[in-house]
Structure 1
Protein backbone atom coordinates (compact mmCIF):
# COMPACT_ATOMS: atom_id res chain seq x y z
CA UNK A 1 0.00 0.00 0.00
CA UNK A 2 1.32 3.42 -0.91
CA UNK A 3 1.92 5.56 2.15
CA UNK A 4 0.87 9.18 2.02
CA UNK A 5 1.85 12.32 3.84
CA UNK A 6 0.33 15.80 3.76
CA UNK A 7 1.86 18.38 1.44
CA UNK A 8 2.00 21.43 3.67
CA UNK A 9 4.44 24.29 3.55
CA UNK A 10 5.42 26.30 6.65
CA UNK A 11 2.31 26.44 8.81
CA UNK A 12 0.93 25.88 12.28
CA UNK A 13 2.21 22.32 12.05
CA UNK A 14 5.77 23.56 12.50
CA UNK A 15 7.31 22.54 9.18
CA UNK A 16 10.85 23.63 8.54
CA UNK A 17 10.94 27.20 7.16
CA UNK A 18 11.36 27.18 3.41
CA UNK A 19 9.96 23.68 2.87
CA UNK A 20 7.67 23.88 -0.13
CA UNK A 21 5.37 21.09 -1.25
CA UNK A 22 5.05 22.44 -4.76
CA UNK A 23 8.80 22.31 -5.38
CA UNK A 24 9.39 19.04 -3.53
CA UNK A 25 6.46 17.38 -5.27
CA UNK A 26 5.57 19.05 -8.60
CA UNK A 27 1.85 19.64 -8.86
CA UNK A 28 1.22 19.26 -5.13
CA UNK A 29 -0.93 21.81 -3.35
CA UNK A 30 -1.34 22.61 0.32
CA UNK A 31 -3.23 19.79 1.98
CA UNK A 32 -2.69 17.34 -0.88
CA UNK A 33 -1.66 13.76 -0.26
CA UNK A 34 1.75 12.93 -1.67
CA UNK A 35 3.77 9.68 -1.61
CA UNK A 36 5.66 9.35 1.65
CA UNK A 37 9.44 9.33 1.15
CA UNK A 38 11.52 9.29 4.35
CA UNK A 39 14.60 10.35 2.40
CA UNK A 40 13.11 13.67 1.33
CA UNK A 41 10.18 14.41 3.62
CA UNK A 42 10.64 16.44 6.79
CA UNK A 43 13.87 14.83 7.92
CA UNK A 44 16.12 15.84 10.74
CA UNK A 45 14.35 18.69 12.50
CA UNK A 46 12.83 18.35 15.98
CA UNK A 47 10.33 21.03 14.97
CA UNK A 48 9.12 19.16 11.90
CA UNK A 49 5.72 18.01 13.06
CA UNK A 50 5.72 15.17 10.52
CA UNK A 51 9.46 14.57 10.34
CA UNK A 52 11.69 11.71 11.40
CA UNK A 53 12.97 13.04 14.70
CA UNK A 54 12.56 10.29 17.30
CA UNK A 55 13.54 12.05 20.50
CA UNK A 56 11.10 14.96 20.65
CA UNK A 57 8.67 14.87 23.60
CA UNK A 58 7.24 11.41 22.97
CA UNK A 59 4.67 11.71 25.76
CA UNK A 60 2.97 14.51 23.85
CA UNK A 61 3.65 13.02 20.44
CA UNK A 62 2.09 9.66 21.24
CA UNK A 63 -1.33 11.27 21.56
CA UNK A 64 -1.25 14.18 19.16
CA UNK A 65 1.35 13.61 16.48
CA UNK A 66 1.78 10.99 13.74
CA UNK A 67 4.54 9.14 15.50
CA UNK A 68 4.31 7.13 18.69
CA UNK A 69 7.06 6.21 21.11
CA UNK A 70 9.78 6.73 18.51
CA UNK A 71 8.12 4.78 15.69
CA UNK A 72 7.26 7.03 12.77
CA UNK A 73 3.96 6.35 11.03
CA UNK A 74 2.82 7.78 7.75
CA UNK A 75 -0.10 10.19 8.02
CA UNK A 76 -3.44 10.35 6.24
CA UNK A 77 -5.24 13.67 6.46
CA UNK A 78 -8.95 14.28 6.10
CA UNK A 79 -11.35 17.07 6.97
CA UNK A 80 -14.98 18.10 6.74
CA UNK A 81 -14.90 20.09 3.53
CA UNK A 82 -12.55 18.47 1.00
CA UNK A 83 -14.77 16.04 -0.88
CA UNK A 84 -11.98 15.49 -3.44
CA UNK A 85 -9.77 13.89 -0.80
CA UNK A 86 -9.79 10.10 -1.41
CA UNK A 87 -10.17 9.66 2.36
CA UNK A 88 -13.08 12.07 2.77
CA UNK A 89 -15.37 9.25 3.90
CA UNK A 90 -13.42 9.24 7.17
CA UNK A 91 -15.08 12.58 7.93
CA UNK A 92 -18.41 12.56 9.74
CA UNK A 93 -19.62 15.12 7.20
CA UNK A 94 -19.32 12.65 4.32
CA UNK A 95 -22.74 11.73 2.84
CA UNK A 96 -23.03 8.23 4.28
CA UNK A 97 -26.58 7.91 5.69
CA UNK A 98 -27.35 6.17 8.97
CA UNK A 99 -30.35 4.93 10.92
CA UNK A 100 -30.48 5.11 14.72
CA UNK A 101 -32.00 2.62 17.18
CA UNK A 102 -35.49 3.99 16.54
CA UNK A 103 -35.09 3.67 12.79
CA UNK A 104 -34.80 7.42 12.23
CA UNK A 105 -32.84 8.53 9.18
CA UNK A 106 -29.72 10.71 9.46
CA UNK A 107 -27.96 11.99 6.30
CA UNK A 108 -24.48 11.82 7.85
CA UNK A 109 -22.72 10.60 10.97
CA UNK A 110 -22.48 14.24 12.08
CA UNK A 111 -26.28 14.58 11.94
CA UNK A 112 -26.66 11.47 14.09
CA UNK A 113 -24.06 12.60 16.63
CA UNK A 114 -25.56 16.06 17.09
CA UNK A 115 -29.12 14.71 17.22
CA UNK A 116 -28.13 12.47 20.14
CA UNK A 117 -27.46 15.57 22.23
CA UNK A 118 -31.21 16.03 22.71
CA UNK A 119 -33.68 13.91 24.66
CA UNK A 120 -36.63 15.67 23.03
CA UNK A 121 -37.20 13.78 19.75
CA UNK A 122 -38.68 16.91 18.16
CA UNK A 123 -35.38 18.74 18.57
CA UNK A 124 -33.38 15.71 17.44
CA UNK A 125 -35.53 15.38 14.32
CA UNK A 126 -34.98 19.03 13.41
CA UNK A 127 -31.22 18.60 13.74
CA UNK A 128 -31.31 15.56 11.47
CA UNK A 129 -33.45 17.44 8.95
CA UNK A 130 -30.71 20.01 8.32
CA UNK A 131 -29.46 20.02 4.75
CA UNK A 132 -25.77 19.89 5.71
CA UNK A 133 -23.63 18.48 8.50
CA UNK A 134 -22.42 21.99 9.31
CA UNK A 135 -26.02 23.14 9.57
CA UNK A 136 -26.77 20.31 12.00
CA UNK A 137 -23.83 21.33 14.17
CA UNK A 138 -24.79 25.01 14.15
CA UNK A 139 -28.42 24.26 15.02
CA UNK A 140 -27.38 21.99 17.89
CA UNK A 141 -25.00 24.66 19.16
CA UNK A 142 -27.75 27.28 19.05
CA UNK A 143 -29.91 25.04 21.25
CA UNK A 144 -27.21 24.55 23.86
CA UNK A 145 -29.60 25.21 26.81
CA UNK A 146 -31.68 22.22 25.70
CA UNK A 147 -28.81 19.74 25.38
CA UNK A 148 -29.27 16.83 27.75
CA UNK A 149 -27.69 17.74 31.11
CA UNK A 150 -25.67 14.52 31.27
CA UNK A 151 -24.22 14.96 27.76
CA UNK A 152 -20.61 15.36 28.83
CA UNK A 153 -20.81 12.31 31.09
CA UNK A 154 -22.40 10.09 28.44
CA UNK A 155 -20.31 11.55 25.63
CA UNK A 156 -16.84 11.29 27.16
CA UNK A 157 -16.04 8.23 29.23
CA UNK A 158 -13.81 9.35 32.06
CA UNK A 159 -11.38 6.48 32.12
CA UNK A 160 -7.72 5.99 31.21
CA UNK A 161 -8.44 6.46 27.52
CA UNK A 162 -10.84 9.38 28.06
CA UNK A 163 -12.70 7.85 25.14
CA UNK A 164 -15.59 9.71 23.44
CA UNK A 165 -18.06 6.85 23.76
CA UNK A 166 -20.98 8.54 21.97
CA UNK A 167 -18.77 9.30 18.99
CA UNK A 168 -17.42 5.76 18.97
CA UNK A 169 -20.99 4.42 18.96
CA UNK A 170 -21.78 6.61 15.96
CA UNK A 171 -18.65 5.45 14.15
CA UNK A 172 -19.49 1.80 14.87
CA UNK A 173 -22.92 2.32 13.33
CA UNK A 174 -21.30 4.04 10.35
CA UNK A 175 -19.02 1.02 9.93
CA UNK A 176 -21.87 -1.46 10.29
CA UNK A 177 -24.24 0.30 7.90
CA UNK A 178 -21.71 1.45 5.29
CA UNK A 179 -19.36 -1.33 4.12
CA UNK A 180 -17.44 1.05 1.84
CA UNK A 181 -16.48 3.10 4.90
CA UNK A 182 -15.27 -0.02 6.71
CA UNK A 183 -13.19 -1.01 3.68
CA UNK A 184 -11.66 2.46 3.47
CA UNK A 185 -10.78 2.49 7.16
CA UNK A 186 -9.15 -0.94 6.90
CA UNK A 187 -7.17 0.24 3.87
CA UNK A 188 -5.41 2.85 6.01
CA UNK A 189 -3.41 0.12 7.74
CA UNK A 190 -1.38 1.57 10.60
CA UNK A 191 -1.29 5.12 9.24
CA UNK A 192 -1.94 7.94 11.65
CA UNK A 193 -5.34 9.50 10.87
CA UNK A 194 -5.34 13.27 11.24
CA UNK A 195 -8.52 15.36 11.16
CA UNK A 196 -7.31 18.74 9.90
CA UNK A 197 -10.64 20.56 10.26
CA UNK A 198 -9.58 24.01 11.42
CA UNK A 199 -12.77 24.68 13.40
CA UNK A 200 -12.44 21.52 15.51
CA UNK A 201 -10.05 21.78 18.44
CA UNK A 202 -11.49 18.67 20.12
CA UNK A 203 -12.36 16.39 17.21
CA UNK A 204 -9.60 17.77 14.97
CA UNK A 205 -6.35 19.67 15.25
CA UNK A 206 -8.02 23.07 14.97
CA UNK A 207 -5.39 25.79 14.84
CA UNK A 208 -2.62 23.20 15.09
CA UNK A 209 -2.68 21.88 18.66
CA UNK A 210 -6.14 20.33 18.86
CA UNK A 211 -6.78 16.86 20.31
CA UNK A 212 -7.70 15.06 17.07
CA UNK A 213 -10.21 12.93 18.98
CA UNK A 214 -12.04 11.85 15.82
CA UNK A 215 -8.82 10.61 14.27
CA UNK A 216 -7.91 8.81 17.47
CA UNK A 217 -11.36 7.19 17.71
CA UNK A 218 -11.06 5.96 14.12
CA UNK A 219 -7.66 4.44 14.87
CA UNK A 220 -9.00 2.67 17.98
CA UNK A 221 -11.95 1.20 16.09
CA UNK A 222 -9.73 0.24 13.16
CA UNK A 223 -8.07 -2.30 15.46
CA UNK A 224 -11.43 -4.06 15.86
CA UNK A 225 -11.90 -4.65 12.12
Structure 2
Protein backbone atom coordinates (compact mmCIF):
# COMPACT_ATOMS: atom_id res chain seq x y z
CA UNK A 1 0.00 0.00 0.00
CA UNK A 2 1.73 3.13 -1.23
CA UNK A 3 -0.37 5.82 0.47
CA UNK A 4 1.45 9.14 0.67
CA UNK A 5 4.94 7.63 0.70
CA UNK A 6 5.96 8.86 -2.73
CA UNK A 7 9.54 9.19 -3.91
CA UNK A 8 11.49 8.81 -7.16
CA UNK A 9 14.95 8.50 -8.63
CA UNK A 10 16.36 9.92 -11.86
CA UNK A 11 17.68 7.58 -14.55
CA UNK A 12 19.13 9.17 -17.71
CA UNK A 13 16.99 12.24 -17.10
CA UNK A 14 13.81 10.18 -16.62
CA UNK A 15 11.95 10.20 -13.31
CA UNK A 16 11.23 6.67 -12.03
CA UNK A 17 8.47 6.80 -9.39
CA UNK A 18 8.77 4.84 -6.19
CA UNK A 19 7.74 4.41 -2.59
CA UNK A 20 9.31 3.16 0.61
CA UNK A 21 8.61 1.03 3.67
CA UNK A 22 10.46 0.13 6.85
CA UNK A 23 12.58 -3.02 7.12
CA UNK A 24 15.36 -4.59 9.14
CA UNK A 25 18.73 -5.42 7.59
CA UNK A 26 20.88 -8.08 9.30
CA UNK A 27 24.51 -7.18 8.80
CA UNK A 28 26.03 -8.61 11.95
CA UNK A 29 23.61 -6.65 14.13
CA UNK A 30 20.14 -5.65 12.96
CA UNK A 31 19.53 -2.23 11.46
CA UNK A 32 16.19 -0.45 11.05
CA UNK A 33 16.16 1.10 7.58
CA UNK A 34 13.90 1.84 4.60
CA UNK A 35 13.36 -0.22 1.49
CA UNK A 36 12.87 1.97 -1.56
CA UNK A 37 10.79 0.22 -4.21
CA UNK A 38 10.72 1.61 -7.77
CA UNK A 39 8.40 1.14 -10.72
CA UNK A 40 11.17 -0.37 -12.86
CA UNK A 41 11.42 -3.27 -10.40
CA UNK A 42 14.61 -2.19 -8.67
CA UNK A 43 14.74 -2.10 -4.88
CA UNK A 44 17.17 -0.08 -2.80
CA UNK A 45 18.07 -1.95 0.38
CA UNK A 46 21.55 -0.60 1.05
CA UNK A 47 22.15 -0.68 -2.70
CA UNK A 48 19.97 -1.10 -5.79
CA UNK A 49 19.08 -4.71 -6.55
CA UNK A 50 16.69 -6.47 -8.92
CA UNK A 51 13.61 -8.24 -7.62
CA UNK A 52 15.38 -11.59 -7.98
CA UNK A 53 18.39 -10.32 -6.02
CA UNK A 54 16.06 -8.91 -3.40
CA UNK A 55 14.41 -12.33 -3.07
CA UNK A 56 17.81 -13.90 -2.44
CA UNK A 57 18.53 -11.31 0.26
CA UNK A 58 15.19 -12.19 1.85
CA UNK A 59 15.81 -15.93 1.72
CA UNK A 60 19.26 -15.50 3.22
CA UNK A 61 17.92 -13.39 6.08
CA UNK A 62 19.97 -10.32 5.12
CA UNK A 63 16.64 -8.53 4.78
CA UNK A 64 15.30 -9.84 8.04
CA UNK A 65 11.78 -11.04 8.80
CA UNK A 66 12.83 -13.20 11.77
CA UNK A 67 13.80 -11.09 14.77
CA UNK A 68 15.44 -13.13 17.55
CA UNK A 69 14.84 -12.21 21.16
CA UNK A 70 17.82 -10.36 22.62
CA UNK A 71 19.37 -9.43 19.27
CA UNK A 72 21.08 -6.06 19.12
CA UNK A 73 19.44 -3.53 16.79
CA UNK A 74 20.03 0.10 15.89
CA UNK A 75 18.64 2.94 13.84
CA UNK A 76 21.46 5.07 12.47
CA UNK A 77 21.98 8.32 14.40
CA UNK A 78 18.86 7.62 16.47
CA UNK A 79 19.08 4.78 18.99
CA UNK A 80 20.46 1.35 19.88
CA UNK A 81 18.42 -1.31 21.69
CA UNK A 82 17.74 -5.07 21.96
CA UNK A 83 14.71 -7.00 20.82
CA UNK A 84 12.50 -8.15 23.66
CA UNK A 85 9.74 -10.62 22.80
CA UNK A 86 9.67 -9.46 19.16
CA UNK A 87 6.90 -10.46 16.78
CA UNK A 88 7.17 -9.96 13.04
CA UNK A 89 4.14 -9.76 10.80
CA UNK A 90 6.10 -11.02 7.81
CA UNK A 91 7.76 -14.06 6.35
CA UNK A 92 10.07 -13.81 3.34
CA UNK A 93 7.18 -15.01 1.15
CA UNK A 94 4.78 -12.40 2.51
CA UNK A 95 7.20 -9.49 2.18
CA UNK A 96 8.16 -10.54 -1.33
CA UNK A 97 4.48 -10.75 -2.34
CA UNK A 98 3.83 -7.27 -0.94
CA UNK A 99 6.81 -5.85 -2.84
CA UNK A 100 5.54 -7.47 -6.07
CA UNK A 101 2.14 -5.86 -5.47
CA UNK A 102 3.81 -2.49 -4.87
CA UNK A 103 5.64 -2.67 -8.19
CA UNK A 104 2.33 -3.45 -9.92
CA UNK A 105 0.69 -0.48 -8.18
CA UNK A 106 3.51 1.87 -9.19
CA UNK A 107 2.98 0.83 -12.81
CA UNK A 108 -0.80 1.13 -12.70
CA UNK A 109 -1.19 -2.63 -13.20
CA UNK A 110 -3.68 -4.84 -11.34
CA UNK A 111 -2.16 -6.17 -8.14
CA UNK A 112 -3.17 -9.36 -6.30
CA UNK A 113 -6.21 -7.66 -4.75
CA UNK A 114 -7.38 -6.34 -8.11
CA UNK A 115 -6.95 -9.79 -9.65
CA UNK A 116 -8.97 -11.35 -6.85
CA UNK A 117 -11.83 -8.87 -7.20
CA UNK A 118 -11.85 -9.43 -10.97
CA UNK A 119 -12.15 -13.18 -10.36
CA UNK A 120 -15.01 -12.50 -7.95
CA UNK A 121 -16.82 -10.50 -10.65
CA UNK A 122 -16.46 -13.47 -13.00
CA UNK A 123 -17.91 -15.78 -10.35
CA UNK A 124 -20.85 -13.48 -9.60
CA UNK A 125 -21.65 -13.27 -13.32
CA UNK A 126 -21.55 -17.08 -13.68
CA UNK A 127 -21.75 -18.88 -10.33
CA UNK A 128 -20.03 -22.16 -11.10
CA UNK A 129 -17.81 -24.03 -8.68
CA UNK A 130 -14.96 -23.70 -11.16
CA UNK A 131 -15.24 -19.92 -11.06
CA UNK A 132 -15.54 -19.97 -7.26
CA UNK A 133 -12.36 -22.05 -7.04
CA UNK A 134 -10.55 -19.52 -9.23
CA UNK A 135 -11.77 -16.66 -7.03
CA UNK A 136 -10.74 -18.57 -3.90
CA UNK A 137 -7.26 -19.17 -5.28
CA UNK A 138 -6.97 -15.48 -6.15
CA UNK A 139 -8.07 -14.56 -2.61
CA UNK A 140 -5.34 -16.69 -1.05
CA UNK A 141 -2.81 -15.19 -3.47
CA UNK A 142 -3.31 -11.82 -1.75
CA UNK A 143 -0.60 -11.41 0.92
CA UNK A 144 -2.19 -12.34 4.22
CA UNK A 145 -1.22 -8.97 5.69
CA UNK A 146 -3.25 -7.20 2.98
CA UNK A 147 -6.45 -9.28 2.86
CA UNK A 148 -8.22 -7.17 5.48
CA UNK A 149 -7.93 -4.18 3.13
CA UNK A 150 -9.15 -5.91 -0.03
CA UNK A 151 -12.67 -4.46 0.07
CA UNK A 152 -11.69 -1.09 1.53
CA UNK A 153 -14.24 -1.73 4.29
CA UNK A 154 -12.73 -1.30 7.73
CA UNK A 155 -15.97 -2.41 9.43
CA UNK A 156 -16.44 -5.75 7.66
CA UNK A 157 -12.83 -6.08 6.47
CA UNK A 158 -12.53 -9.13 4.18
CA UNK A 159 -15.22 -11.24 5.86
CA UNK A 160 -17.78 -11.04 2.98
CA UNK A 161 -15.03 -11.88 0.48
CA UNK A 162 -13.82 -14.91 2.43
CA UNK A 163 -17.40 -16.20 2.91
CA UNK A 164 -18.20 -15.75 -0.78
CA UNK A 165 -15.17 -17.61 -2.10
CA UNK A 166 -15.57 -20.38 0.50
CA UNK A 167 -19.23 -21.06 -0.30
CA UNK A 168 -22.07 -22.67 1.72
CA UNK A 169 -20.84 -25.62 3.77
CA UNK A 170 -17.20 -24.79 3.11
CA UNK A 171 -14.70 -24.68 5.95
CA UNK A 172 -13.05 -21.34 6.69
CA UNK A 173 -9.29 -21.88 6.53
CA UNK A 174 -8.72 -19.05 8.97
CA UNK A 175 -11.12 -20.64 11.47
CA UNK A 176 -10.60 -24.42 11.42
CA UNK A 177 -13.78 -26.34 12.19
CA UNK A 178 -16.09 -23.46 11.29
CA UNK A 179 -18.17 -23.69 8.14
CA UNK A 180 -20.17 -21.13 6.18
CA UNK A 181 -23.91 -21.49 6.62
CA UNK A 182 -26.47 -20.48 3.99
CA UNK A 183 -27.53 -17.31 5.81
CA UNK A 184 -23.93 -16.03 6.01
CA UNK A 185 -23.44 -16.82 2.35
CA UNK A 186 -26.64 -15.04 1.28
CA UNK A 187 -25.57 -11.96 3.26
CA UNK A 188 -22.20 -11.99 1.47
CA UNK A 189 -23.92 -12.18 -1.94
CA UNK A 190 -26.16 -9.23 -1.03
CA UNK A 191 -23.07 -7.33 0.17
CA UNK A 192 -21.37 -7.75 -3.20
CA UNK A 193 -24.51 -6.87 -5.14
CA UNK A 194 -24.84 -3.62 -3.17
CA UNK A 195 -21.12 -2.98 -3.57
CA UNK A 196 -21.42 -3.41 -7.34
CA UNK A 197 -24.25 -0.87 -7.46
CA UNK A 198 -22.25 1.59 -5.37
CA UNK A 199 -19.18 1.20 -7.59
CA UNK A 200 -21.31 1.70 -10.71
CA UNK A 201 -22.69 4.96 -9.32
CA UNK A 202 -19.37 6.28 -7.99
CA UNK A 203 -17.93 7.68 -11.25
CA UNK A 204 -21.02 9.88 -11.63
CA UNK A 205 -20.68 11.34 -8.16
CA UNK A 206 -19.42 14.92 -8.09
CA UNK A 207 -18.23 16.58 -4.85
CA UNK A 208 -20.73 19.11 -3.56
CA UNK A 209 -18.44 22.07 -4.24
CA UNK A 210 -16.67 20.74 -7.34
CA UNK A 211 -13.62 18.60 -8.09
CA UNK A 212 -10.76 18.48 -5.62
CA UNK A 213 -8.06 18.46 -8.30
CA UNK A 214 -7.62 20.60 -11.43
CA UNK A 215 -9.23 19.37 -14.63
CA UNK A 216 -6.97 21.42 -16.92
CA UNK A 217 -3.32 20.45 -17.52
CA UNK A 218 -0.74 22.37 -15.50
CA UNK A 219 0.70 25.46 -17.20
CA UNK A 220 4.39 26.25 -16.98
CA UNK A 221 5.29 29.94 -16.88
CA UNK A 222 9.00 29.99 -17.82
CA UNK A 223 11.29 32.89 -17.10
CA UNK A 224 11.15 35.57 -19.79
CA UNK A 225 12.44 39.09 -20.27
CA UNK A 226 9.76 41.04 -22.18
CA UNK A 227 10.70 44.66 -22.75
CA UNK A 228 7.45 45.95 -24.23
CA UNK A 229 3.77 45.02 -24.27
CA UNK A 230 2.43 42.77 -27.01
CA UNK A 231 -0.95 42.71 -28.75
CA UNK A 232 -1.09 38.98 -28.08
CA UNK A 233 1.25 38.20 -25.19
CA UNK A 234 -0.33 34.87 -24.30
CA UNK A 235 0.61 33.37 -20.96
CA UNK A 236 3.79 35.49 -20.91
CA UNK A 237 1.47 38.27 -19.70
CA UNK A 238 1.10 36.39 -16.41
CA UNK A 239 4.76 36.94 -15.58
CA UNK A 240 5.52 39.59 -12.96
CA UNK A 241 8.09 41.18 -15.26
CA UNK A 242 5.61 41.62 -18.11
CA UNK A 243 5.39 45.38 -18.89
CA UNK A 244 1.92 46.15 -17.56
CA UNK A 245 1.97 49.34 -15.44
CA UNK A 246 0.38 49.07 -12.00
CA UNK A 247 -0.69 52.00 -9.88
CA UNK A 248 -0.49 51.56 -6.11
CA UNK A 249 -0.31 54.11 -3.30
CA UNK A 250 -0.29 56.98 -5.80
CA UNK A 251 2.75 55.73 -7.73
CA UNK A 252 2.82 53.98 -11.10
CA UNK A 253 5.33 51.17 -11.70
CA UNK A 254 6.21 49.65 -15.10
CA UNK A 255 5.46 46.11 -13.90
CA UNK A 256 4.56 44.08 -10.83
CA UNK A 257 8.25 43.21 -10.44
CA UNK A 258 9.23 46.90 -10.44
CA UNK A 259 6.62 47.62 -7.78
CA UNK A 260 7.61 44.63 -5.65
CA UNK A 261 11.29 45.51 -5.56
CA UNK A 262 10.65 49.21 -5.03
CA UNK A 263 8.30 48.55 -2.13
CA UNK A 264 10.77 46.10 -0.57
CA UNK A 265 13.36 48.71 0.32
CA UNK A 266 13.36 51.21 3.16
CA UNK A 267 15.58 53.63 1.22
CA UNK A 268 13.44 56.26 -0.62
CA UNK A 269 16.22 56.89 -3.16
CA UNK A 270 16.56 53.20 -3.98
CA UNK A 271 12.77 52.91 -4.13
CA UNK A 272 12.53 55.64 -6.76
CA UNK A 273 15.45 54.12 -8.69
CA UNK A 274 13.77 50.71 -8.74
CA UNK A 275 10.52 52.27 -9.90
CA UNK A 276 12.26 54.09 -12.75
CA UNK A 277 14.56 51.23 -13.79
CA UNK A 278 14.57 50.27 -17.48
CA UNK A 279 13.89 46.59 -16.78
CA UNK A 280 12.54 44.44 -13.99
CA UNK A 281 16.00 42.87 -13.70
CA UNK A 282 17.55 46.30 -13.16
CA UNK A 283 14.87 47.13 -10.58
CA UNK A 284 15.78 43.99 -8.67
CA UNK A 285 19.50 44.76 -8.76
CA UNK A 286 18.83 48.27 -7.49
CA UNK A 287 16.74 47.08 -4.58
CA UNK A 288 18.94 44.15 -3.60
CA UNK A 289 21.77 46.46 -2.62
CA UNK A 290 19.51 48.64 -0.45
CA UNK A 291 18.20 47.90 3.08
CA UNK A 292 14.95 45.91 3.34
CA UNK A 293 11.90 47.33 5.05
CA UNK A 294 11.37 46.04 8.58
CA UNK A 295 9.11 42.99 8.60
CA UNK A 296 9.41 42.57 4.82
CA UNK A 297 10.00 38.82 4.91
CA UNK A 298 6.74 38.29 6.78
CA UNK A 299 4.79 40.85 4.70
CA UNK A 300 6.07 40.13 1.19
CA UNK A 301 3.44 37.53 0.26
CA UNK A 302 0.61 39.90 1.17
CA UNK A 303 2.32 42.69 -0.82
CA UNK A 304 2.60 40.47 -3.88
CA UNK A 305 -1.07 39.49 -3.55
CA UNK A 306 -2.07 43.17 -3.60
CA UNK A 307 0.15 43.87 -6.61
CA UNK A 308 -1.27 40.96 -8.62
CA UNK A 309 -4.80 42.09 -7.79
CA UNK A 310 -3.90 45.58 -9.01
CA UNK A 311 -2.40 44.27 -12.24
CA UNK A 312 -5.36 42.17 -13.28
CA UNK A 313 -7.95 44.68 -12.06
CA UNK A 314 -6.30 47.52 -13.99
CA UNK A 315 -5.72 45.45 -17.16
CA UNK A 316 -8.91 43.61 -18.20
CA UNK A 317 -7.22 42.08 -21.27
CA UNK A 318 -4.61 40.49 -19.02
CA UNK A 319 -7.32 39.36 -16.64
CA UNK A 320 -8.86 37.49 -19.58
CA UNK A 321 -5.53 35.73 -20.19
CA UNK A 322 -5.51 34.61 -16.56
CA UNK A 323 -9.15 33.50 -16.65
CA UNK A 324 -8.47 31.49 -19.80
CA UNK A 325 -6.13 29.24 -17.81
CA UNK A 326 -9.32 27.70 -16.36
CA UNK A 327 -8.40 25.79 -13.20
CA UNK A 328 -4.92 24.73 -14.27
CA UNK A 329 -2.09 24.57 -11.78
CA UNK A 330 0.27 27.45 -12.59
CA UNK A 331 3.93 26.52 -12.26
CA UNK A 332 6.03 29.71 -12.06
CA UNK A 333 9.74 29.71 -12.84
CA UNK A 334 11.86 31.98 -10.68
CA UNK A 335 15.32 31.90 -9.17
CA UNK A 336 13.68 32.39 -5.78
CA UNK A 337 12.68 29.23 -3.93
CA UNK A 338 9.89 31.26 -2.32
CA UNK A 339 8.29 32.69 -5.46
CA UNK A 340 9.14 30.00 -7.99
CA UNK A 341 8.71 26.27 -8.42
CA UNK A 342 12.48 25.97 -8.78
CA UNK A 343 12.46 22.47 -10.29
CA UNK A 344 9.96 21.15 -7.76
CA UNK A 345 12.01 22.34 -4.79
CA UNK A 346 10.46 25.81 -4.44
CA UNK A 347 7.19 26.93 -2.86
CA UNK A 348 5.75 28.38 -6.10
CA UNK A 349 4.06 31.25 -4.25
CA UNK A 350 3.66 33.33 -7.42
CA UNK A 351 1.85 30.49 -9.14
CA UNK A 352 -0.35 29.95 -6.11
CA UNK A 353 -1.20 33.65 -5.81
CA UNK A 354 -2.04 33.83 -9.52
CA UNK A 355 -4.49 30.97 -8.94
CA UNK A 356 -5.97 32.88 -5.98
CA UNK A 357 -6.44 36.07 -8.01
CA UNK A 358 -7.91 34.00 -10.85
CA UNK A 359 -10.48 32.56 -8.45
CA UNK A 360 -11.32 36.08 -7.23
CA UNK A 361 -11.87 37.22 -10.82
CA UNK A 362 -14.18 34.26 -11.42
CA UNK A 363 -16.09 35.08 -8.24
CA UNK A 364 -16.45 38.70 -9.28
CA UNK A 365 -17.74 37.68 -12.71
CA UNK A 366 -20.26 35.36 -11.11
CA UNK A 367 -21.36 38.03 -8.64
CA UNK A 368 -20.70 35.83 -5.63
CA UNK A 369 -17.93 37.75 -3.87
CA UNK A 370 -19.04 38.08 -0.23
CA UNK A 371 -18.99 41.45 1.45
CA UNK A 372 -16.91 41.65 4.60
Residues 70/113 of structure 1: CA separation in 2 closer, same or farther (3 Å cut): closer
State the match for 2:336 in structure 1. 200
Task: Give the Cα–Cα distance (whole angstroms) in 1 for the partners of residues 347 and 220 of structure 2.
Answer: 14
Work out which of the residue numbers 88, 101, 106 in structure 1 matches 2:236.
88
Shift of 1:221: 1.4
Which runs of 5 or more structure 1 residues have no equivalent in the other structure? Answer: 1-9, 18-43, 48-67, 156-163
SS at match of 2:338: coil
Task: Give the Cα–Cα distance (whole angstroms) in 1 for the partners of residues 272 and 214 of structure 2.
Answer: 45
Task: Give the Cα–Cα distance (whole angstroms) in 2 for the partners of residues 185 and 124 of structure 1.
Answer: 29
Work out which of the residue numbers 166, 172, 177 in structure 1 matches 2:309.
172
Superposition TM-score, scaled by structure 1 size: 0.61
More helix by percentage: 2
Task: Give aligned pairs, total.
Answer: 158
Shift of 1:152: 1.7
State the match for 1:220 in structure 2. 356
Task: Give the Cα–Cα distance (whole angstroms) in 2 for the partners of residues 89 and 200 of structure 1.
Answer: 19
More strand by percentage: 2
State the match for 1:189 in structure 2. 326
Residues 152/188 of structure 1: CA separation in 2 closer, same or farther (3 Å cut): same
Task: Give the Cα–Cα distance (whole angstroms) in 1 for the partners of residues 338 and 14 of structure 2.
Answer: 19
In the alignment, is the contact (CA less than 8 A) between 1:195 and 1:212 conserved in 2?
yes
Superposition TM-score, scaled by structure 2 size: 0.38
Shift of 1:119: 3.6
Say if 2:260 is the partner of 1:113. Answer: yes
Which runs of 5 or more structure 2 residues have no equivalent in the other structure? Answer: 1-9, 18-103, 108-210, 227-231, 362-372
Q: Which has the higher contact order (CA 8 A, sep 6+)?
A: 1
Higher alpha-carbon Rg: 2
1:14-50 Cα distance to aligned partner (Å, 9 max, x none): 6469xxxxxxxxxxxxxxxxxxxxxxxxxx9969xxx
Residues 96/14 of structure 1: CA separation in 2 closer, same or farther (3 Å cut): farther
Provide the alpha-carbon RMSD of the alignment.
3.2
